[in-house]
Amino acid sequence: MSESIRLTPQIERILISPEQIAVRIKELGAEITRDYAGKEIVILCILKGAFLFTSDLCRSIGVPQKLDFMAVSSYGDSTRSSGIVKIDKDLSESIQNQHVLIVEDIIDTGLTLSYIEKILLDRKPASIKICVLCNKPSNLQQHVKVDYCGFTIENEFVVGYGLDFKGYLRNLPYIGVVKKEYR
């Protein structure tokens, strides 16, 4: 762990360090590069949570790629899933006949990703695969096929490296657990 990293007051402990994140992203990138060899992909970053993960991951993927963004909200300001998914920003280009790699920050109930996958499948892509930074399988309500997973974590509310708490703390370089008194 870097000496320079200090905990902010809302954080109980660091779950995944910047170094662990960097190593895992290199591994995921290598795996994705092998799996898509000879193909071109559309990397679909789900905003806002996946913005940092996507920016590092895309640089470790060595196949021809385009980048697109979709913004969805499912939580409001709560730390529990509302089950309601709203598209705040849609893709800027068609994905018909394209190999789409969805990049998302975290799966909790699975409601967000299963909804996104369903509406994207209607647009007739050549394929869809899902890459998540974190998976919290203990809360799953809707099965989602995760093709690439950075880290499987316990049922804790985490922030940092793109993940937020009420819109804040996305800028932390690590993934940390929020103190109970803040939730």
- Contact positions vs Mg ion (CB under 5 A): 49, 105
Assess 81 for contact with ligand IMP (CB under 6 A): yes
Nearest CA among 73, 97, 104, 101 for reference residue 87: 73
Total number of residues that touch ligand IMP (CB under 6 A): 18
Q: Which amino acid is present at 163? A: L
Interactions with ligand IMP, residue window 121-160 (CB under 6 A): 157-159
- Asked if 54 interacts with ligand IMP (CB under 6 A), we say no
d(CA 120, CA 100): 9
The rounded distance, in Å, linking the Cα atoms of 78 and 82 is 8
Which of 35, 56, 77, 108 is the catalytic position?
A: 108
Contact status: 102 vs ligand IMP (CB under 6 A) = no
| Min separation Cβ 165 and ligand IMP, Å | 7
Q: How many CB atoms lie within 10 A of CB 132?
A: 24
Active site residue 108: yes
Look at phi and psi of residue 109 and say left if phi exceeds 0, alpha if psi is from -120 to 50, else beta. alpha
Q: Judged by CB under 6 A, does residue 111 bind ligand IMP?
A: yes
* Cβ neighbourhood burial of 110 (10 Å; 0-12, 13-18, 19+): buried
List 36, 53, 69, 75, residue binding ligand IMP (CB under 6 A): 75
Q: Which residues on adjacent β-strands are paired with residue 152?
A: 135
The least CB distance from residue 140 to ligand IMP, in Å, is 8
Taking the complex as a whole, the smallest distance from the CB of residue 147 to ligand IMP amounts, in Å, to 16
Positions touching ligand IMP (CB under 6 A) are 49, 74-75, 81, 104-112, 157-159, 163-164
Q: Which residues are catalytic?
A: 108
